[in-house]
Amino acid sequence: MSEVENRPTNFIRQIIDADLESGKHTSVQTRFPPEPNGFLHIGHAKAICLNFGIAEDYKGLCNLRFDDTNPEKEDIDYVISIQEDVKWLGFEWAGDVHYSSDYFDRLHGFAVELIEKGLAYVCFLNSEESREYRGTLKAPGKNSPYRDTSIEDNLSLFEKMKKGEFKEGECSLRAKIDMSSSFMCMRDPIIYRVRFAHHHQTLDKWCIYPMYDFTHCLSDAIEGITHSLCTLEFQDNRRLYDWVLENVSIDITPHQYESSRLNLEYTVMSKRKLNSLVEEKLVNGWDDPRMPTIAAFRRRGYTPASLREFCKRIGVTKMDNTIEMGVLEACIREDLNDNAPRAMAVLDPIKLVIENYPEGQVEELTVKNHPSDESQGTRIVPFSKELYIEAEDFREEANKKYKRLVIDKAVRLRGAYVVTAVRCDKDDEGNVTTVYCTYNEDTLGKNPEDGTKPKGVIHWVAAEQSLDAEIRLYDRLFTVANPAAEDDFKSVINPESLITINHAKVEPSLKNAKPEQAFQFERQGYFCRDNKESLDRLVFNRTVGLRDTWAKISG
């Protein structure tokens, strides 16, 4: 199958194919235009994969352009984090990073041109008056009393705005379109406003800043964007996008195409809501592994390949829908099942003492790093008389469905011997603290000579050689699939979205785990070493369980 035949298809790619075939375009130029006012989330990952993916497939170019027209809410730290996210996902932008602020001089010139054509005016209505004049979805707006100011006066007033001679909110520059339009965005929208704000790129050069709808289309045109891809909430705004380009002197007129945004269960995608979670310390920052940001998924142990695969699976359509969290989790589970090495970690340890094992003896057992991938090699795991096992892996009595350690029943210790429990010690509250067992010396790598096969396999770590670790069990941040529909979305935060285990024991090979390195902890799930904690501490974050337990709960 050829590279072209192997491409995914959707309505946008069909449009591009037709444009190239007809000669409307001879190459493809896209852009990813985030506003640097927060961390990127999983919805942005879809946009990144779409824009950069199309550019790659059509051997075109994709710009990274920051929509930095609102300096009060923007920060250079967000600029840096966004660049890191794009690179981490596996994409490279064309040339240098672009900023809308790179074009502020030209944008100002286009605004002056609109004034000179009688298509823009300086308006002194305050915010309350503007709302009154704007009308409603059912009633048309009415013209501003400043709409017919002369071109000469408007040029003078706009120059005064530029020089900082008006207060914030005192006036604005508006496009003169149609106050009776059925589309609210066409009712003389504001295209420039006064803001005395320090800008992370232009510093204090400007005290007037262009609005997004004026800036975006012109930035696309300046950069030669052929296909401007955005989400459906900008569908009506395409009329303003086209109006601006039709009424200024610019050679290239790109076209905007809209597709559905990503809605994911058990999350909120609003930057305002995400920011409130951070500001109110309901989560531990933008990269808290419970957040839907790319940085959070990375810290939790998701891989770039899994997010790209997720974006590929959900596709590109014009239909709004909500994707089940299980679809995303299946992508990372499949990736890590194939690629993550195995290791042993005991989260709720109790002692297992092998009474007939030689005192002081330590064996070095060779264990496969992956059950089906020989290329991942092997590791050495120490084995001794005293081990740790999971408390839930032992019962004094149990029915036949219980496949773990029971008094007088045999189980296999993963990669080691068959053992049989004989008795146990308990504390004052009746909790088992130590289990005593015997081992069959002739069962390393094979079943007992009598042909019996243990019904279960449990994991373990050598007590003396084990390492202390902190395990963070992350789960879905909300208890309902659509938290945004609640009157107070914060009222449905999952109280068990983070459970911290401070007394876990892990095998010594994990001492050398690198930040973000993924492992399957035998019978526990997939985990990665936290990328923010000091290397002096072993902290592992649960990425996802071995199977989808929420499907059973919700079913």
Q: Which of 508, 510, 393, 400 is nearest to 458 (CA)?
A: 393
**352-377 as b/e: b if 16+ CB within 10 A:** bbbeebeeeeeeebebebbeeeeeee
Contacts of 125 (CB under 8 A, 6+ apart): 133, 144, 145, 146
Q: Which two tokens stand for residue 420?
A: 């049989």
Catalytic-role residue among 31, 65, 271, 300: 271
**CA-based Rg of the chain, rounded to a whole angstrom?**
31
Q: Which two tokens stand for residue 172?
A: 């604005």
Are 510 and 467 a contacting pair, CB within 8 Å?
A: yes
Cα separation of the two ends of the chain: 40
Catalytic-role residue among 147, 160, 261, 273: 261
Q: Which of 188, 170, 171 is nearest to 179 (CA)?
A: 188
84-89 long-range contacts, Cβ below 8 Å, gap at least 24? Answer: 84/295, 85/39, 85/40, 85/44, 85/45, 85/48, 85/294, 85/295, 86/32, 86/48, 86/52, 88/294, 88/298, 88/304, 89/45, 89/48, 89/49, 89/52, 89/294, 89/304, 89/307, 89/308
Are 352 and 423 a contacting pair, CB within 8 Å?
A: no
Q: Which of 277, 230, 272, 275 is nearest to 254 (CA)?
A: 230
Pairing of strands 29-32, 61-66: parallel
| 261 given a catalytic annotation | yes
Question: Taking the CA of residue 187 as centre, how many other CA atoms within 13 Å lie in the half-sphere pointing to its CB?
Answer: 20
Report the sign of the C-alpha dihedral through residues 435, 439, 444, 449, in that order.
Answer: negative
Phi-psi region of 340 (alpha: psi -120 to 50; beta: other; left: phi over 0): beta
| 128 given a catalytic annotation | no
d(CA 94, CA 536): 39
d(CA 68, CA 81): 15
Alpha helices in 58-124 (DSSP H): 76-88, 104-116
d(CA 193, CA 216): 16
Report the sign of the C-alpha dihedral through residues 52, 55, 60, 66, in that order.
Answer: negative
Catalytic-role residue among 7, 35, 147, 403: 35
Q: What torsion, rounded to 10 degrees, do the Cα atoms 53, 58, 61, 66 define? A: -30
Neighbours of 59 (CB within 10 A): 9
d(CA 42, CA 297): 8
| 129 given a catalytic annotation | no
Tell me the longest C-alpha to C-alpha distance in the chain: 103
Whole-angstrom CA distances from 259 to 28, 233, 315 are 18, 9, 10
Task: Name the one residue in this structure whose structure tokens are 């036949």.
Answer: 400
Catalytic residue set = 35, 261, 271
